[in-house]
Amino acid sequence: MSRYQSIARTQPGILEVNQVLRNTYALLAMTLLFSAGTAGLSMALDLPHPGTIITMVVYFGLLFLTSKFSNSAWGILFVFALTGFLGLTLGPILNFYIHSIHNGGQLVMTALGGTGLIFFGLSAYALVSRKDFSFMGGMLMAGILVAFLASIATLFFPMPGLQIAVSAMFILLMSGMILFQTSEIIHGGENNYILATVTLYVSIFNLFLSLLQILGIFGGDD
């Protein structure tokens, strides 16, 4: 009898995890498409980049609102506001690479393809292996803080070596974050698909930018 009770208790948990996974990937796909649309609009209108300070203020403000309202429909609205805004900031960066670097268009497509391969590969590995990567949480948070502070340093000391190191650090950290967040979902550590979507989107966004920067440094003069 206890065996059947155990199965009955486990089944709703499995159903809940599958629902969170479906909702997360569905919302992630929609936000990526919306972000691509706002990036394309920004490119078409040739909008200037808002600058680091404005970008950080708006980003953290929308991130706070998304987290605060993550259990309501307002959370979805703020997710699209956040990802749409990041798409707008991406447009000027893409325009720079495409119009100012000899093989910029190729670099953008290579970075995009690399980002897709890394995301799908790591997500598939976490889903198939079902390994628990929760132990990475503290290390990732500490690493992201260090990488963020180092990225600020590159604004004052724009040295190629430092930029490469920071970008490489972000690639490793964002790859780890994809594994961590996917593991959290499948093991029940994250049951809010809005928060899971934001984490995966930001990981993909930073992964793409970091790959693009490294490719630009090494292959921009070809």
Tell me: the pLDDT tens digits for 81-108? 999 999 999 999 999 999 888 888 999 9
Report the pLDDT value the prediction gives residue 221, as an integer from 0 to 100. 53
DSSP 78-127: HHHHHHHHHHHHHHHHHHHHHHHSTTHHHHHHHHHHHHHHHHHHHHHHHH
Tell me: the pLDDT tens digits for 22-81? 999 999 999 999 999 999 999 999 999 999 899 999 999 999 999 999 999 999 999 999
Q: By the 8 A CB rule, do 80 and 189 touch? A: no
Q: By the 8 A CB rule, do 27 and 194 touch? A: yes
DSSP structure class, residue 69: T
Cα dist from 91 to 21, 45, 85, 88, whole Å: 29, 9, 10, 5
Q: What is the pLDDT confidence band of residue 15, given thresholds at 50, 70 and 90?
A: confident
